[in-house]
Amino acid sequence: MVQLDFQSTTNQKPTAMADKLKSLNDLLHEQLRDLYSAEDQLVDALPDMADEANDPRLKQAFQLHLEQTKNQKARLEEIGRGMNLDLDGHTCKAMEGLIKEGKDMIDEDASDEVKDAGLIAAAQRIEHYEISGYGTAARFAEQTNNTQTAELLRQTLQEEKDTDSKLNDLAESYINQKAM
């Protein structure tokens, strides 16, 4: 993973952000709001993805991740309370786009197997986005000595990584073969 040089980013604030984001703490707050919106949108989207999945193991993986995602959203709420931050009121546009791509896949007139492979591709894009977001936020939390927050973010980060590798295994072991 690429490690940003946080020290230099805090010393040289990009002008576009300078008004709003004055410190690494502000940037952490911004990242947490973005992740909160991402999880919130996913809680709504995952039931549709589970409904559309044909392979029972994929369906089950989406259902399990829905429960995890609800828990991850609650974890962010806990972080918000702990740090006295309001995480509401922001829309993560990247997640909006990723979910829309997943929905487009659902609407495609494809065979069951091809649709499953496409759903996995969409879900893995989502996981990779979240892995990147949680990795950055956890790092920011550590750098700003928000130890408890960092710990909670790392728990979610691990869950996202596990989900990604589970999807990978499903795609590799079975679904991509069937789609050929």
User: Of residues 62-91, which lie at the interface with Fe ion (CB under 5 A)?
Assistant: 69, 72
Rule CB under 5 A: say whether 41 interacts with Fe ion: no
Number of residues lying near Fe ion (CB under 5 A): 3
Q: Which is nearer to Fe ion, 36 or 140 (CB)?
A: 36
User: Of residues 129-148, which lie at the interface with Fe ion (CB under 5 A)?
Assistant: 130
- Closest residue to bound Fe ion by CB: 72
Chain-centroid distance, C-alpha 53: 20
Q: Tell the smallest beta-carbon distance from residue 15 to Fe ion (Å).
A: 32
Rule CB under 5 A: say whether 31 interacts with Fe ion: no
Contacts with Fe ion, residue ranges (CB under 5 A):
69, 72, 130
